[in-house]
Amino acid sequence: MQKLKYPLLIASILALTACGSSSSGGKSSTPSSSSVASSSSSVVSSSSEISSTSSSVSSSASSTSVSVDIGDLNLKSEVDFPVGVAVNAGNESKSLLKNDAYGASHRAIVERHFSQITAGNIMKMSYLHPRIDDYTYTDADALVNYALEHDISVHGHVLVWHSDYQVPNFMKASSVDKATLLTMLDDHITNIVAHFTGRIASWDVVNEAFNEDGTYRENDSVFYKKANKDYIEAAFRSARAADGVVDLYYNDFNLAPGGAKLNGVLAMVDDFQTRDVPISGVGFQMHIFQDWPSTNDIKKSFKAVVDRGLKVKVTELDIPYNNPYSSGFVFKPYTNDKAEAQRTRYCQIAKTYVDTVPAAQRGGFTVWGISDDDTWLNQVLFNNAHKEWPLLFNTEFQPKPALLGVADGLSGKNC
Ligand code: XIL
């Protein structure tokens, strides 16, 4: 297996930079970001509302271990749509399936609270298909089998994604022209989707194909460079041909605030629907911040997809409190008051989801990681210089107030 790394999250980082600076009135000068800046203040002021679930926050909480008594709460029992979490597996050092204390504590959390998992890495392109005639399903099968044995469904992530570190080398070769690439992608998708048919509920078919300005990602996508936007439609058609019922998602970040990028995706969806290109829903990654985007903007973005009759799936939610792109940024540690603010924010996001998306169109609500010790944001946002706390369980694997916020929001309570 290729070593896991993520230098080419640059596009995401740039996007986070844009949203981060805008939310704090910082560096970005794009028109869409200034509208974000003005709306973000309403989120900050509304976050002081009182949450409805009574709970006691541990009074002995230290800056890294604020936890909360959750009684007999099982998050997944609050709703009848998938409540998901991204997990490590295979060779990853913090694999869910590891036979050690870490693995056991994470399995206990997953089995109690979540009804769906997404592989955070091990089902990306080159992990399943490193060489043209070589598919490596051992790790993914172990994860999928574990999930199904525990009555947990699986969201497949991801069939086609430009991010260089996980694109199989054979697809990048200069000798590969458009026709060859489309054949390779068809083989890739057909083989993988068929392998998991009946065992996987939904797929991210194409991930992150758009720029922030709503144009197709061109500069850093080998797929676009070789085949222009035609690879996207072809991917959806191949996936549907391989499995007639599995849900097929287009997935991207920075769709929740609305604006040019969401509009670009919606134009693609409209075109697909006009021409009967199969698509079941839009995945909103939602790598957002405590103060950005506003719930009002998120609501409008969800509704735009709902109005097209498609499913809305929150696929990768995490909510860092700290925004390194804000002016005069100073890292804030995890304390009781900030844990409560985060709880309110998580509640508002979950409630916005159930209030806006009708039951039949709820694809699910997934957080990107189990506990704060294992968030990808430490590296991406802080270059490992700080430890962010964006998830539902703390570094000691104890439930945080944020977990109660999600439970309240998903069950429609006031935040
Ligand atoms: C991230 C993983 O969480 C990291 O462990 C890995 O190093 C890089 O990829 N959008 C996506 C996910 O669709 O696949 C990314 O996952 C996060 C951004």
102 lines ligand 1 (CB under 6 A): no
Q: How far apart are CA 394 and CA 374, in angstroms?
A: 10
Residue 241, classified by CB atoms within 10 Å of its CB into exposed (0-12), middle (13-18) or buried (19+), is middle
Q: How far apart are CA 309 and CA 314, in angstroms?
A: 16
120 lines ligand 1 (CB under 6 A): yes
156 lines ligand 1 (CB under 6 A): no
Predicted pLDDT of residue 325: 85
Q: Which of 3, 203, 253, 376 to mutate to test the pocket of ligand 1 (most atoms within 8 A of CB)?
A: 376
Predicted pLDDT of residue 133: 97
Which residue CA neighbors atom 13 of ligand 1 most closely? 207
Q: What is the pTM of this model?
A: 0.88
Q: How far is the CA of 157 from the centre of ligand 1 (A)?
A: 10
Q: How far is the CA of 46 from the centre of ligand 1 (A)?
A: 30
Instruction: Looking at the CA of residue 251, tell me the nearest atom of ligand 1.
Output: 13
12 lines ligand 1 (CB under 6 A): yes
Nearest to 219 by CA among 11, 3, 1: 11
Q: How far is the CA of 96 from the centre of ligand 1 (A)?
A: 16
376 lines ligand 1 (CB under 6 A): yes
List, in order, residues 6 or more apart from 342 with CB less than 8 Å away. 290, 319, 321, 389, 400, 401, 402, 405
Q: How far apart are CA 238 and CA 194, in angstroms?
A: 10
Q: How far is the CA of 340 from the centre of ligand 1 (A)?
A: 27
281 lines ligand 1 (CB under 6 A): no
Per-residue pLDDT tens, the chain, 415 aa: give them: 333 323 333 344 434 433 333 333 222 222 222 222 222 222 222 222 223 333 444 433 444 679 999 999 999 999 999 999 999 999 999 999 999 999 999 999 999 999 999 999 999 999 999 999 999 999 999 999 999 999 999 999 999 999 999 999 999 999 999 999 999 999 999 999 999 999 999 999 999 999 999 999 999 999 999 999 999 999 999 999 999 999 999 999 999 999 999 999 999 999 999 999 999 999 999 999 999 999 999 999 999 999 999 999 999 999 999 999 888 899 999 999 999 999 999 999 999 999 999 999 999 999 999 999 999 999 999 999 999 999 999 999 999 999 999 999 999 999 9
Q: How far is the CA of 36 from the centre of ligand 1 (A)?
A: 25
Predicted pLDDT of residue 35: 25
Structure tokens at 139: 């790790």
Which residue CA neighbors atom 12 of ligand 1 most closely? 120
207 lines ligand 1 (CB under 6 A): yes
Q: Give percent helix, percent strand, percent coil of the chain, each to the nearest 5.
A: 45, 15, 40
Q: How far apart are CA 202 and CA 153, in angstroms?
A: 9
Structure tokens at 101: 């204390």
Residue 86, classified by CB atoms within 10 Å of its CB into exposed (0-12), middle (13-18) or buried (19+), is buried
Residue 105, classified by CB atoms within 10 Å of its CB into exposed (0-12), middle (13-18) or buried (19+), is middle
118 lines ligand 1 (CB under 6 A): no
DSSP secondary-structure letter at 398?
A: P
Q: Which of 2, 121, 161, 251 to mutate to test the pocket of ligand 1 (most atoms within 8 A of CB)?
A: 121
**DSSP strand E in 256-328: where?**
281-284, 311-317
Which residue CA neighbors atom 4 of ligand 1 most closely? 376
Q: Which of 8, 317, 368 to mutate to test the pocket of ligand 1 (most atoms within 8 A of CB)?
A: 368
Q: How far apart are CA 400 and CA 68, in angstroms?
A: 5
Is the separation of the CB atoms in 287 and 318 below 8 Å?
A: yes
Q: How far is the CA of 261 from the centre of ligand 1 (A)?
A: 20
Nearest to 356 by CA among 403, 288, 409: 409
Instruction: Looking at the CA of residue 12, tell me the nearest atom of ligand 1.
Output: 18
Residue 169, classified by CB atoms within 10 Å of its CB into exposed (0-12), middle (13-18) or buried (19+), is exposed
Which residue CA neighbors atom 15 of ligand 1 most closely? 120
Q: How far is the CA of 8 from the centre of ligand 1 (A)?
A: 10
6 lines ligand 1 (CB under 6 A): yes
Structure tokens at 154: 């699986």
Backbone CA torsion sign across 268, 271, 276, 282: positive
Q: How far apart are CA 350 and CA 345, in angstroms?
A: 9
Q: Which residues are catalytic?
A: 208, 316
Which residue CA neighbors atom 16 of ligand 1 most closely? 120
Predicted pLDDT of residue 40: 29
127 lines ligand 1 (CB under 6 A): no
